[in-house]
Structure 1
Amino acid sequence: MTTSTKTAKIDRLAELTAQNETTSGASLWREAFRRLKTNKMAIIGAAIIAVFIVMAIVGPWLAPHSATALTWKSEVLVNQGKFVDSPRGGNWFGLDHLGRDTFSRFLIGARQTLLVGVVSMLIGLIVGAVIGAASGAAATLGGRLGQKIDTVIMRVVDMMLALPSLLLAVSIAAVMGQSLTTVMIAVGVVQIPIFARLLRGSMLAQGSKDYVLAAQSLGIRKRRIVVTNILPNSLSPVIVQATLSLATAIIEAAALSYLGLGNPDPAVPEWGVMLSQAQRFFEHAPMMAVYPAVGIIITALGFTLLGEAMREALDPKLRG
């Protein structure tokens, strides 16, 4: 086959997929963004996320006091149940059981929570996408070997999905030992089968499109079609899932920290650690638990609202 013939076939493939790429590529995202701008749920979710990110980035500089200094320890009498957990001058969220400023710890703890959530999600996204793309490509290309590869990969993914996510994360964290890195890896591993299954299914759906059959009829190798067309057009649901997974990652990371599997230094503020420390003093100082709990709930809600709005905006059934 001459170079000119190959070029002509590739150009023809571009023409055949132009309509598909128009509805699945750039114009789809433009249409989705237009829908998101008028979606109240998306606006609220984006606002919550923006506040959380800004707080995580600049929080350490905005914190009025040190997060570890026991400045007001003399005012906290644990044995007598005396706590200053309500707002007062100089301590907007009151004090914790060691006389530390709760507001400063809340601000600085947001950074740790964001870091764990984002890194965990990226671990699940990258590894899951690689596995899902390999399985989806093997299934799409067909052949006995491709089917066997797809079957083996999906059975492993199914076994991971069969285990409760929190139980799997706790097991991994318990084996690897107590550290913040352990929490990131444990939560990230839980996300891997979700992304793998989603990308594989999306690639199989794209593989049945008319433009794939038309391209094959021109003699274009299916491997090129998979890499240049099927895979890029399959990423939309994965991106949406990444937003939703951030909410799950934050909750599961906080749960592991609450169980004592997070940062081994309890002086380092993190919302899950703060919640765990407040449990012992809930009767005398309930607000110690309320502040980090509300932070976790609202942040997870923001990512969930935005993710659900993106899912609706990208749903072809809702596009007119």
Structure 2
Amino acid sequence: MTKKADKIDRLAELMQTSEATTGASLWREAMRRLRSSKMAIIGAAVIAVFVVLAIIGPWIAPHSPTAQTWRGEVFPNQGKFVGMRGENWFGLDHLGRDLFSRMLVGARQTLLVGVVSMLIGLVVGALVGILSGAAATLGGRVGQRVDTVIMRITDIMLSLPGLLLAVSIAAVLGQSLTTVMIAVGVVQIPVFARMLRGSMLAQGGADYVLAAKALGVRKRRIVLTQILPNSLSPVIVQATLSLATAIIEAAALSYLGLGNPDPAVPEWGVMLSQAQRFFDNEPMMAAYPAIGIIITALGFTLLGEAMREALDPKLRG
């Protein structure tokens, strides 16, 4: 009996070592493919520039983003604006504020909203996904019922257009930057929950899980130490893609007037909202924040798609 138990223990160790080696080699192969992917390099470069500008923007801005220094030179009622010039690289807005400085400082607010919104969706969605996935994988009949209830609620949330749901939440909570973060984060929750739950279900039938069950390992330990770590790859990829979505949706809420109640604080969505009234006379006021949002979202999307391809075992050569 002792020899048989020793053989089972040895078999389990070999299976876990094999899984760990496979996982490590998968990540090494993914990193190699990312380094050779032009899409990943471009996306990472765009993100790096955006993050650096968001961090150092307030210190390198040539002028105060809120000071109406040149208000006497701008007459929006007459359609007279100051365009690009040596002193103001992007020109002036309708209140005589330097647009270049506002773009630099506004990048920090945009990044903050996007990251916090994504983290809210990731953390809450992961907790929901872990509960649902663990219940469906190892919870028996009661677990199946718990999983069914959670997934039906998730399906209801997914059936609603994301921006419409975010607008509804923001309208109920009131106008503020925190409201935007919460509203956009709630929209992301069912996406992460559904993805992590599906990944855990796929891992639930793996050989290392069957071996752990045969050895009598507690279900909670199997979920936390075996199934969950091997289910995180698609969630990491989705987090990168969700940053792009969060930035766009946060800008949309700010554009609709549901963001920061102080219009003097620069944020790309707020700047875009303020510029719509003067688009006929000065379209560049809207073009600068719009281009910033598009390029930033594109960078996160390119990196996320490159990570998805790099981690997809079907595409490994």
Which TM-score band applies after superposition, normalised by the shorter structure?
A: over 0.9
Distance 1:197 1:244 in 2: 15
Deviates more, 1:201-210 or 1:218-227: 218-227
Amino acid across the alignment from 1:248: T
Aligned residues of 1:140 and 1:204 also touching (Cα < 8 A): yes
Offset at residue 22 of structure 1 (A) = 2.0
Amino acid across the alignment from 1:22: T
Q: In structure 2, which of residues 112, 121, 124 is the aligned counterpart of residue 127 of structure 1?
A: 124
Aligned residues of 1:10 and 1:220 also touching (Cα < 8 A): no
In the alignment, does 2:52 pair up with 1:49? no
Within 5 Å, which residues of 2 pair with 1:239-258?
239-258=236-255
Aligned residues of 1:161 and 1:193 also touching (Cα < 8 A): yes
Aligned residues of 1:41 and 1:306 also touching (Cα < 8 A): yes
Offset at residue 226 of structure 1 (A) = 1.6
Within 5 Å, which residues of 2 pair with 1:124-163?
124-163=121-160
Q: Deviations over 1:179-224 (max 9, x none)?
A: 0000000000000000000000000000111222233233333332
Aligned residues of 1:16 and 1:215 also touching (Cα < 8 A): no
Deviates more, 1:141-150 or 1:272-281: 141-150
Offset at residue 15 of structure 1 (A) = 2.3
Task: Please give the secondary structure, in 2, of the residue aligned with 1:144.
Answer: helix
Amino acid across the alignment from 2:20: E
Distance 1:300 1:14 in 2: 44
Aligned equivalent of 1:78? 76
Distance 1:7 1:94 in 2: 76
Task: Please give the secondary structure, in 1, of the residue aligned with 2:80.
Answer: coil
Aligned residues of 1:49 and 1:303 also touching (Cα < 8 A): yes
Aligned equivalent of 2:264? 267
Q: 1:98 to 1:40 in 2, by over 3 A?
A: same
In the alignment, does 2:231 pair up with 1:234? yes
Distance 2:310 2:11 in 1: 31
Offset at residue 90 of structure 1 (A) = 0.9
Distance 2:10 2:152 in 1: 39
Aligned equivalent of 2:91? 94
What is the TM-score when the length of structure 2 is the normalising length? 0.96
Distance 1:225 1:8 in 2: 20
Q: Flag structure 1 segments of 5+ consecutive residues without an equivalent.
A: none
Q: 1:317 to 1:285 in 2, by over 3 A?
A: same
Offset at residue 10 of structure 1 (A) = 6.6
Amino acid across the alignment from 1:40: K
Aligned equivalent of 1:116? 113
Task: Please give the secondary structure, in 1, of the residue aligned with 2:265.
Answer: coil
Aligned residues of 1:244 and 1:304 also touching (Cα < 8 A): yes
Aligned equivalent of 2:22? 23
Offset at residue 9 of structure 1 (A) = 6.6
Q: 1:8 to 1:121 in 2, by over 3 A?
A: farther
Amino acid across the alignment from 1:100: R
Q: In structure 1, which of residues 16, 35, 38 is the aligned counterpart of residue 36 of structure 2?
A: 38
Amino acid across the alignment from 2:47: I
Aligned equivalent of 1:303? 300
What is the TM-score when the length of structure 1 is the normalising length? 0.95
Distance 1:128 1:93 in 2: 40
Q: In structure 1, which of residues 174, 188, 191 is the aligned counterpart of residue 171 of structure 2?
A: 174
Q: Flag structure 2 segments of 5+ consecutive residues without an equivalent.
A: none
RMSD in angstroms over aligned alpha carbons?
1.7
Offset at residue 68 of structure 1 (A) = 0.6
Q: 1:38 to 1:74 in 2, by over 3 A?
A: same
In the alignment, does 2:190 pair up with 1:206? no
Distance 1:156 1:93 in 2: 47
Amino acid across the alignment from 2:15: L
Aligned residues of 1:9 and 1:220 also touching (Cα < 8 A): no
Offset at residue 8 of structure 1 (A) = 8.9
Offset at residue 27 of structure 1 (A) = 2.3
Distance 1:134 1:120 in 2: 21
In the alignment, does 2:64 pair up with 1:66? yes
